[in-house]
Amino acid sequence: MRPIQSLRQHLNGLDGKDYGAYQSLTGAYSYPTFELLIDQIPKDPYAPPHTGVYRVRVEWDQARFPGEMIASGIRAIAFRDYLTRRIHANCLEYSKRRGTGNSGIIAIAEPGQEILERTSVVFDAQYIEARMFLGLPASGRRIRADTAAKMIFEELPQVVNASLFADALDLETISRYLQTAEDAQFLRDRLPDLELAAFVADGAILPRISGVDRRPLDNENVVPFRSPESLEVSIKLPNAGTITGLGIPRGVTVLVGGGYHGKSTLLQALEQGVYNHIAGDGREFCVSLPETVKVRAYSGRNVVNTDISPFIRNIPQHQDTVAFSTPNASGSTSQAAFMSEAIEAGAKVLLMDEDTCATNFLIRDRRMQQLVKKEHEPITAFVDKVRQLYDEHGISTVLVLGGAGDYLEVADHIIQMIEFTPHDVTEIARQVVQENPSGRTHEGEERFELPKQRHPYWDGLDTRNEHGHRRVYAPNPHELIYGRMRVDLNDVEQLLESAQTKAIGLAIEYARKYMDGKTTLREVLDNVMSDLHEHGLDLLDPKFTGDLAAFRDLEFAAILNRMRDFRADQARV
């Protein structure tokens, strides 16, 4: 560990030199209150932040945080998440662009509204370690040593001292933050015992600012959530005490209502309820079972040897739907594939919004049944499968519907949204069904056979790009660059951060050792998630770049299934 004075002297000698000379600063340096480890400096001021690795370490004895802040797994995760947010806020205050490219920036991977395990801040027995990025300044490609000195010796210590020491932070605020995460996790863990698929707390604020801004909408017209009495559930939390809210039971639940009355907003809260949310998000106590998957149609996606026969059979020209492959799926086949893939990966709750579903996958009404005979229709509408999925396999479904009234016949519960408030209309709906029978013929098979498992191979998953360089990168949550592949993930709506998508890309690279053509996809997922549980996300990134976030095995499978060079054999029995 070198003294900070040596870094200052070395930096002064670099003024005006080519930007690449900054790389001579790599090493470990001792500041009065922390240590700085410069592991990697990019050769170019335009290089993306993840190509620079700067680690700040603060000893626990100096940070002086109370031990209860890391007393349990979820508390430790939430505490690291909170510290990342404080560093991010302070970076915005103390740094700015000065010069070419990313010159002048002090940054950390930006978190969203969810509390996730991240590599941006990590703990060990001795240190709190924050992994940051410093855009060392340049004019053109020439080093600006004076501005760099201001960043390294003034601004960086200001950020660290304001973010990683107990006496600079409000410990009561931190405690509430950790308690909120702990309560949300407790609530989610209780769902199976309560026979619930999801829970939405009374008083929750569900609307978001926009489709690309997940912060809560804040205006006088926002209607706080209120559960109908018939579906109200009370739960005592460890910290917040007893709360009440809407308990969505396992089974088949249909959300109905007029346009713009809040159906899709409620469904979005359920799809994002697989994550814990930060205090002040409005959805802190909106939770779903961890195995919940939002399913939709997405024309043009890739499908690899997927068993869609539970939903589609007897396609013309004798295409095999037990091991169905296409580089350009239609709306109905893409949705059938998504559903089969989700079930294969372990989904226990399926969420669907009529607006993003293939109509012919959802429903085939009586008139269409009379006009187009079943022997000429390969698709068995989901309305004839949804009850079997739950009754035979325990897989629940929540559907948002505005036009497909035939689902009222197969639903356990019907909730109508009226001006953003839910009403239990199950009994009214049953009366409507009795007075207005659909007259349609059930077209499903006697039993629902689960999709067959596949055995993946590693050999198509090459991380080298056209120049022979390893490349795994996520420019946004719904796009993965993997070697030469650009993977479109716009239909994987539960991916929320680029850090998750990049982590999954690296996890797919890591998982190749398990993809031997003999191990099932489900077993590959279990192996990878077990390894990550034991060793942490750093298992995927030996460079410690700090821009990875935790993900679910369900999204891992979803990304793998959309990679055009992915190969898998169907397991036939």
Number of H helices, E strands in the chain: 15, 30
Q: Where are the domains of the chain?
A: 2-169, 292-435, 454-570
CA 137, CA 151: separation in Å to the nearest integer?
A: 9
Burial pattern 322-337, b for ≥16 Cβ within 10 A else e, equals ebbbbeebbbbbbbbb
Say if residues 134 and 549 touch (Cβ distance below 8 Å). no
CA 236, CA 130: separation in Å to the nearest integer?
A: 35
Confidence of residue 512 (pLDDT cuts 50, 70, 90): very high
Cα dihedral 293, 298, 304, 308, rounded to 10, equals 70
Place of tokens 């998630």: 529
Above 90 in pLDDT, residue 372? Answer: yes
For the purposes of burial, counting CB atoms within 10 Å of the CB of 110, is it exposed (0-12), middle (13-18) or buried (19 or more)? middle
- The average pLDDT across 49-64 equals 92
Phi and psi of 295, rounded to 5°?
-115, 140
Above 50 in pLDDT, residue 573? Answer: no
What pTM does this model have?
0.96
- Model confidence over 382-413: pLDDT tens digits? 999 999 999 999 999 999 999 999 999 999 99
- Model confidence over 99-130: pLDDT tens digits? 899 999 999 999 999 999 999 999 999 999 99
- Model confidence over 269-298: pLDDT tens digits? 999 999 999 999 999 999 999 999 999 999
Mean pLDDT over the full length of the chain: 95
**H/E segment holding residue 156:** helix 156-163
Sign of the dihedral through C-alpha 225, 230, 236, 237: negative
Length of the chain: 573
Place of tokens 């003034």: 154
CA 173, CA 165: separation in Å to the nearest integer?
A: 14
- Model confidence over 459-484: pLDDT tens digits? 999 999 999 999 999 999 999 999 99
Say if residues 132 and 108 touch (Cβ distance below 8 Å). yes
Above 70 in pLDDT, residue 250? Answer: yes
Count other Cβ atoms within 10 Å, centred on residue 256. 25
Count other Cβ atoms within 10 Å, centred on residue 231. 20
Say if residues 94 and 155 touch (Cβ distance below 8 Å). yes
Say if residues 354 and 403 touch (Cβ distance below 8 Å). yes
